[in-house]
Amino acid sequence: MDFLEYSARATGRRGSIEVITGSMFSGKTEELIRRLRRAQFAGLKVEIFKPSLDKRYSETRVVSHDDKSILSTPVDNASSILLLTEGVDVVAIDEAQFFDNSIVTVCNQLADSGARILIAGLDMDFSGKPFGPMPELLAIAEYVTKVHAICMRCGNLAQYSFRKSDEAQVVLLGEKNLYEPLCRNCYNAALNK
């Protein structure tokens, strides 16, 4: 039995990983904040992290598209999270798709030590391909919540983040000026224009 297993058994804490995923504008961050606030109301020690490259709304807050926000710690890499979570009951990570695959190991280590891990991230990039470490995070999670936006062209449920520009790089931070949520049919129609 290693230290993490011993620590979890000694405290009676049972770790878990919860992933909230979907397209842009689907409410992932809003749901993450809602779960964190409930944990805070329950008196649990909570820490939230985001990739330092995401400065769209704030450098130090996780902010949803409907302006709900919570104080966070920006980190350059996933291993930094391990250094900042001693004694934390709930660890939240927003925009997880921007981390490399080491985020999977970090989340497993934290959950194995008894922490509840909440992760929000895009499941697909603008080209409809699985985004970064998200497929692995979805595979190891005990709980997965897929949220949907509303298609901006037809009003159906949307699961794609359509990029309105010709930029080719996978990571391109933007909002409604660069992206719109689309359903499968409208996404395919937009690609074929």
DSSP 127: T
Alpha helices in 85-157 (DSSP H): 102-112, 134-140
Closest Cα partner for 50 from 26, 22, 70, 25? 70
Q: Are 121 and 97 in contact (CB under 8 A)?
A: yes
Q: Look up residue 140 and give its two tokens.
A: 């190891």
Backbone angle region of 191, left / alpha / beta, with phi > 0 → left and psi within -120 to 50 → alpha:
alpha
Catalytic residue among 18, 31, 95, 180: 95
Nearest to 24, CA basis, from 169, 191, 172, 161: 161
Query: 95 catalytic, yes or no?
Result: yes
Other CB atoms within 10 Å distance of the CB of residue 119: 27
Sign of CA dihedral 25, 129, 93, 16: positive
Say which amino acid occupies 16.
Answer: S
3-state secondary structure of 62: strand
Active-site residue set = 95
